[in-house]
Structure 1
Amino acid sequence: MIIVPEKEIAALMTRSAAFEAVEKVFASMASGSAYNFPVIREAIGHADALYGFKSGFDRAALNLGLKSGGYWPGNAAKGITNHQSTIFLFDADTGKCRAIVGGNLLTALRTAAAAAVSVAHLARQDAKVLGIIGAGHQASYQLRAVAEQRGFEKIVAWNRSPEKLDGLRDVAAELGLPFESVTLDELGAQSDVIVTITSSFDPILRAAQVRPGTHIACMGTDTKGKQEVDNALVGAANVFTDERAQSISIGECQHAIADRTIQEADITELGAVINGDHPGRGSDVEITLFDGTGVGLQDLAVASSVVDLAVEKGVALEVEF
């Protein structure tokens, strides 16, 4: 069995490799050659933690396995990241454990890659202003990945605590892009692409704040009850997702489905656009929305790539198991 420790991931997985892996997974899911198993995600009643499993099987790539982990809100005070994950890969032919891979950085990279894939396939080609809502651990990864997809000329951002936006300001400076802390109204009025990456249980962005032609990547809602945008905005948009089943159960669309603002048939899996089976954006004035719920197959894809690279570069640990 191969072990790839968390400390080795940064030197092995690039944003471009994560983008390619996630794009391929979305395409496989839409074609029916890959599928996710039901998600388990629970409050465990200890340390205010959320813990669960995401798993699946990709018949084309023969990626079989699961990601185990969750969110421990007290970890920051202990000097470690709140999000803790480990990915387990199994041999599809025998069921033996093939590899254990550190999943913290990979989760951040694959989540950012999913937003980037949505921007690559759904945002207007002339998009110039990128808006970010949220300033947590994941936000800087989102900014770096999404900024590569269009010729952005400015970054605008909003967070409930504006002083926490300094990290995004630093990333924008690294990218050579002007940065501005703005109100939500200002963000919506300026942005061509908006990424929401929060842990909110109440809508932050509303339909009246978003201008025609905007692409929105909702990346924070992955649990029952969470919500980043109001139902009217979901109803006004052409809606896409990574996986429809998760979108309507734990994703951003769960609320719009519940009050019948939209129907399940109104949601298109992004892989259909990647495969050329759906046209994607219908016009330059259409609002598009990607409900990025985070699927287990994304984790398996990036982890499998990392295992191959770790073996090639001689940094993998091999143990009898």
Structure 2
Amino acid sequence: MYIVPESAIADILTRRDAFEAIEKVFAAMSAGDAYNFPVIREAIGHEDALYGFKGGFDGKGMSLGLKAGGYWPHNLEQRGLINHQSTVFLFDADTGKVAAMVGGNLLTALRTAAASSVSIKHLARKDAKVMGMIGAGHQAKFQLRAALETHSFDKVIGWNRNPAALTTLADVAAEFGLPFEAVALDEMTQADVVISITSVFSPVFGAAHISAGTHVACMGTDTIGKQEAQTDLLAKATIFTDEIAQSVTLGEAQHVVAAGLKTRGDINELGAVINGAHAGRSADDEITLFDGTGVGLQDLAVSASIVEIAKAKGIGMEVDF
């Protein structure tokens, strides 16, 4: 078994590596070459923690395994650890023998950001110039960096309940030589692309905050009951997602489907756009929305890339297991 510890991930995985792995696995999912296993996610009754498993099998990339982990809300305040903790386990698809164990914390942040940037590449207007951010937590800076590497923007705007936290986004914009402006939610209509990255159960924005032709990526934590965007926006938008089954049960689409404003058949796979089976954006004034639910195959694809690079660089260790 090859072990790549959390401390080594930053020296191995680039945003480009993550982007390519996610784009390939979305395409494999849509082509029927890869599938996710049912998600297990439970409150464990200790430390207010949520713990679960995401896994799957990619028959094209030959990635088999799972990510185990969850959310410990008191970690940062009480222990100086990030609240999201996870580890990925890969298995040999031919024998079932454990093949690798990979630290999953930075990996999760980079693969989540890669998913939204893949959606920007395939669904945003080519002339999009203003990047909008809703939310400024730990994951937001990863999202913004990935977006700014995917598309050439002229300006970044952002909104957060606590405006003081927006300094982290301003710093990222400065890394790319771009101006940053903190805005009110009703000023988000300036944006050509919007990423929302919040963990709310009561929506913070809707159709009134999004202009015609905008691409929106809803990337906040997905679970039953969560909702970042009002149903009026999802009813108006053309919806794409990583996996339809998750989108309609624990993603943003769960609410618009429950309200009878859209059906499961109205939700499209982003992988179909990547494969050329779906045209994607059909008009410059169309609102497209990516419901990023976070699937186990994303973690496996990126982990497989990490292990390959780690072995080539002599990073990590191999143990007899």
TM-score, with length taken from structure 2: 0.99
Percent pairwise identity: 64
Q: What SS is found at the alignment partner of 1:148?
A: helix
Residue number in structure 2 paired with 1:160: 161
Distance in structure 1 (CA, Å) of the matches to 2:41 and 2:191: 33
The superposition leaves residues 118-163 of structure 1 with CA deviations (integer Å, 9 ceiling, x where unpaired) of 0000000000000001111100000000112222011000110000
Task: Work out whether residues 201 and 228 of structure 1, in 8 Å CA contact, stay in contact via their aligned partners in 2.
Answer: yes
- In the TM superposition, what is the alpha-carbon distance from 1:168 to its structure 2 partner? 0.9
Q: Residue type of the partner of 1:319?
A: V
Residue number in structure 2 paired with 1:241: 241
Pair 1:88 & 2:110 matched? no
Q: Residue type of the partner of 1:40?
A: I
Q: What SS is found at the alignment partner of 1:46?
A: coil
Distance in structure 1 (CA, Å) of the matches to 2:87 and 2:131: 32
The superposition leaves residues 253-302 of structure 1 with CA deviations (integer Å, 9 ceiling, x where unpaired) of 01111111110000000000000000000100000000000000000000
Residue number in structure 1 paired with 2:37: 37
Q: Residue type of the partner of 1:43?
A: A
Task: Work out whether residues 221 and 250 of structure 1, in 8 Å CA contact, stay in contact via their aligned partners in 2.
Answer: no
Distance in structure 1 (CA, Å) of the matches to 2:161 and 2:50: 23
Task: Work out whether residues 221 and 227 of structure 1, in 8 Å CA contact, stay in contact via their aligned partners in 2.
Answer: no
Pair 1:179 & 2:177 matched? no
Distance in structure 2 (CA, Å) of the matches to 1:22 and 1:55: 15
- In the TM superposition, what is the alpha-carbon distance from 1:50 to its structure 2 partner? 1.1
Task: Work out whether residues 19 and 110 of structure 1, in 8 Å CA contact, stay in contact via their aligned partners in 2.
Answer: yes
Residue number in structure 2 paired with 1:220: 220
Q: Residue type of the partner of 1:237?
A: A
Residue number in structure 1 paired with 2:67: 67
Residue number in structure 1 paired with 2:301: 301
Q: Residue type of the partner of 2:224?
A: K
Q: What SS is found at the alignment partner of 2:11?
A: coil
The superposition leaves residues 27-65 of structure 1 with CA deviations (integer Å, 9 ceiling, x where unpaired) of 000000000000111111111111110000000111000
Q: Residue type of the partner of 1:118?
A: S
Q: Residue type of the partner of 2:284?
A: D
Distance in structure 1 (CA, Å) of the matches to 2:260 and 2:45: 33
Distance in structure 2 (CA, Å) of the matches to 1:49 and 1:195: 26
Residue number in structure 2 paired with 1:146: 147
Q: Residue type of the partner of 2:315?
A: V
The superposition leaves residues 92-135 of structure 1 with CA deviations (integer Å, 9 ceiling, x where unpaired) of 01111000000000000000000000000000000000000111
Q: What SS is found at the alignment partner of 2:150?
A: coil
Distance in structure 1 (CA, Å) of the matches to 2:64 and 2:307: 13
Residue number in structure 2 paired with 1:118: 119
Pair 1:311 & 2:311 matched? yes
Residue number in structure 2 paired with 1:250: 250
Q: Residue type of the partner of 2:110?
A: L
Distance in structure 2 (CA, Å) of the matches to 1:283 and 1:257: 24
Pair 1:137 & 2:99 matched? no
- In the TM superposition, what is the alpha-carbon distance from 1:246 to its structure 2 partner? 0.4
Q: What SS is found at the alignment partner of 2:251?
A: coil
Structure 1 runs, 4 residues or longer, greater than 4 Å off: none
- In the TM superposition, what is the alpha-carbon distance from 1:221 to its structure 2 partner? 3.9
Q: What SS is found at the alignment partner of 1:41?
A: strand
Distance in structure 2 (CA, Å) of the matches to 1:150 and 1:25: 21
Distance in structure 2 (CA, Å) of the matches to 1:206 and 1:301: 33
Q: Residue type of the partner of 2:293?
A: T
Q: Residue type of the partner of 2:210?
A: V
The superposition leaves residues 222-256 of structure 1 with CA deviations (integer Å, 9 ceiling, x where unpaired) of 11111000011001001000000000011110111
Residue number in structure 2 paired with 1:20: 20
Distance in structure 2 (CA, Å) of the matches to 1:299 and 1:88: 10
Root-mean-square deviation over aligned CA pairs: 0.7
